[in-house]
Amino acid sequence: MKTANQPLLSLKGITKRFGALTAVDGVDLDVCPGEIVVIIGPSGSGKSTLLRSVNFLEEIEEGTITFEGSEVGYLRNKHGKRHLDTPNRICALRSEIGMVFQHFNLFPHMTVLGNVMEGPLTVQKRSPEEARAIALDMLAKVGLSDKRDVYPATLSGGQKQRVAIARALAMRPKLMLFDEPTSALDPELIGEVFDTIRALGKEGMTMIIVTHQMGFAKEMADRVIFMEAGSFVAQGTPEDFFANQMEHDRIKSFLTRIL
C-alpha cells in the first residue's frame, strides 16, 4: 500500500438508506493519494451506492466525508438536522472528483470532442481554445484523437467508455471513481478500457474502482475490498486477499460464481 501523511479521502460511518433498506451500513474507508482501491461484491451489496455517495449523487443519512483533510458536503441547520451543502460547493467538490459510469452516459448531442470539452468550458469557464486544447490532450491520452469529430452513437462500447474517462479527466480530478466501467461491454472490448485505467494508475491517479473483473483487481489494486449487505466483509492487498481471504465462505462462493 502506498502511504502518505494524510488520506485524500476519508469516509467514516457512511450510512445510506432507501426506505427500510440500508444500502450502505456504517462504512469506513481511507484512500491515500495514488492508491487504487478495488471494491468487489455481489450486486445489491451497496458498492455503487457507496461510490455515488462519495460524489454526492446519493445523499447519505449518517457519516462524514473528509476530502483533502476537511469534512465536506453536509451542513447542519440550527435544529441539528443535516442537509447537503450549497449547490455551488457541491459542484466545486464534484469537479475535483471524476466519475465514470457503467453505461458511459456520454452526451449524445455533442461530438466526442464536445463531450470532453464540456467540463472545462461550462464548469471551469475556460476559453473555447483552452478547453479544446485540454480535450485534445485527454483524447490523445485515451487514444481516440481520430474520433474527435464523430458523435458518440457511432462509437463502440469500449471507445465510448474511453471517451467518458477522457471527459472526467479533462476536469483534472484528484480522485477518480469507476462504477463497474466494463460491465456493459462485450468481453473483447474490456481490455482497451482497462489499458486506459492502467495507464492512469501508472501516472499516480487515485482511484476507487467497483468491478467484477478479478483479474484486473489482482493486477491493479493496491487494496481489494469485499463488500456485502452494505458493509466491508474483508479487505487486503491483492496477494493477501486472494490467498487468504478465500477461506472466507461468502467470498469463496462469490468468487467461484464470478470466475
Partner 1 sequence: MKFFSGRIFRAILLFSCLCLLPAQLSHAEDYDQIFHEANDAMGGGDLPGAIALLKKIPVSKGEDNAPFVRSRMQIARLHFALKDFKAAEADTREVLAVYPGNSEALNFLASVQQEQKSRSAVFLEDCLRFLPNLLKGSVMTITLVFCTMLISPLGGLLIALGRLSRFKPVSTLCWFIIWLFRGTPLLLQLFFIYYGLPALGVTFKPFTAAILGLGLNYSAYLGEIIRGGIQSIEHGQMEAAKAIGMSYGQAMRRVIIPQTYKRLMPPIGNEFIALIKDTALVSTIAMVELMRSADQMFNAYFNITALILAAIIYLVFTTIFTFIFEKIETRAGIYENR
Say how far apart CA 176 and CA 37 lie, in whole Å. Answer: 10
Buried/exposed 69-104: b ≥16 CB within 10 Å, e otherwise: eeebbbeeeeeeeeeeeeeeebeebbeebbbbbbeb
In 3D space, the residue among 184, 193, 197 whose CA is nearest the CA of residue 158 turns out to be 193
Cell of 169: 479527466
If 0-12 CB within 10 Å is exposed, 13-18 middle and 19+ buried, where does residue 189 land?
A: middle
Task: Kindly tell me which residue out of 25, 123, 145, 195 binds partner 1, with binding defined by CB under 8 A.
Answer: 123
| 84 three-class SS | strand
Cell of 118: 464540456
Residue with cell 471494491: 39
Compute how many residues bind partner 1; rule: CB under 8 A: 34
Of 25-33, 115-123, 139-147, 231-239, which part binds partner 1 (CB under 8 A)? 115-123
Tell me the closest approach of the beta carbon of residue 107 to partner 1, in angstroms. 5
Task: Kindly tell me which residue out of 66, 95, 145, 245 binds partner 1, with binding defined by CB under 8 A.
Answer: 95
Say how far apart CA 234 and CA 79 lie, in whole Å. Answer: 38
Nearer to partner 1, 1 or 84 (CB): 84
Task: Kindly tell me which residue out of 1, 21, 75, 91 binds partner 1, with binding defined by CB under 8 A.
Answer: 91
Nearer to partner 1, 91 or 243 (CB): 91
Of 12-20, 116-124, 204-212, 227-235, which part binds partner 1 (CB under 8 A)? 116-124
Task: Kindly tell me which residue out of 122, 127, 244, 253 binds partner 1, with binding defined by CB under 8 A.
Answer: 122
Residue with cell 451489496: 45
Residue with cell 467461484: 256
Nearer to partner 1, 88 or 256 (CB): 88
Is 17 within 8 Å of 61 (Cβ atoms)?
yes
- Give residues 182-241 in contact with partner 1 (rule: CB under 8 A): none
Question: Do strands 175-179 and 206-210 pair parallel, antiparallel, or not at all (unpaired)?
Answer: parallel
Task: Kindly tell me which residue out of 20, 70, 153, 203 binds partner 1, with binding defined by CB under 8 A.
Answer: 153
Residues 164-183, one symbol each (x = binds partner 1 by CB under 8 A, - = not), give x--xx-xx------------
Residue numbers at the binding site for partner 1 (CB under 8 A): 55, 57, 87-88, 91-92, 94-99, 101, 103, 105-110, 118-119, 122-124, 151-154, 164, 167-168, 170-171
